[in-house]
A and B are shown apart, each in its own frame.
Chain A
Amino acid sequence: EVQLVESGGGLAQPGGSLRLSCATSGFTFRSSEVNWVRQAPGKGLEWISYISMSGTTTHYADSVKGRFTISRDNVKNSLYLQMNSLRAEDTAIYYCASASLLGNNYGYRYWGQGTLVTVSS
């Protein structure tokens, strides 16, 4: 059974930091491109970051560029998102989402259940 389990969300102050983790199992993580997608309360889906299978290529949405860093550990089958300089508008549910072995172009086949990040003083 494929599982993606996010953790690390919670309450953070504006300007603060959080590190999200996504533990995966049931599929070949090291051969999968993976992403972070977020959803603000009552809003739509927003793609925010991508990392290649090897971790050498990353992409970010303009809204998080320079503040968030995506990384992965293919030994631990885990994905991470280091979130710095947090703003109120970063408040959202954060999902990790993996492409199938066909690649990111074919859509995000597997999703975690999400972890809620709230940025507030």
Chain B
Amino acid sequence: DIQMTQSPSSVSASVGDRVTITCRASQDISSWLAWYQQKPGKAPKFLMSAETSLQSGVPSRFSGSGSGTDFTLTISSLQPEDFATYYCQQTNTFPQAFGQGTKVEVK
């Protein structure tokens, strides 16, 4: 099975900061990676896949890059509504595992 490792597990940041989250797959997954945002008490929200980039309605301050085993999610200028937990997920093969999550907290 493919393991997904996110770093950092948490990050403290301020509004306006640039935040980068890294996701590493234990083997090559090409571009089959998705990113989600989850706020407390809410269902995850699909942000983007590496193949198709941003989901409609997702602000352009979110961007993703990478292929193979290393991927990043970048928030170019953190906004108050962006404080949340972010998950990557490999969608290459089953089981389609998620990373352990990265919590973006208020500094």
Binding site for A on B (CB under 8 A): 32, 34-36, 38, 43-46, 48-49, 51-52, 55, 87, 89, 91-92, 94-101
Contacts and interface: CB of A to CB of B under 8 A. Distances in A.
Interface of A: 35, 37, 44-47, 50, 59, 61-62, 95, 97, 102, 104-114
Contacts of A106: 34, 49, 51-52, 91
Contacts, number: 66
Nearest to B97: A47
Interface of B is mostly: loop
Contacts of A44: 87, 98-101
A47 B95 contact: yes
A59 B95 contact: yes
A52 to B, nearest CB: 11
A52 B59 CA distance: 31
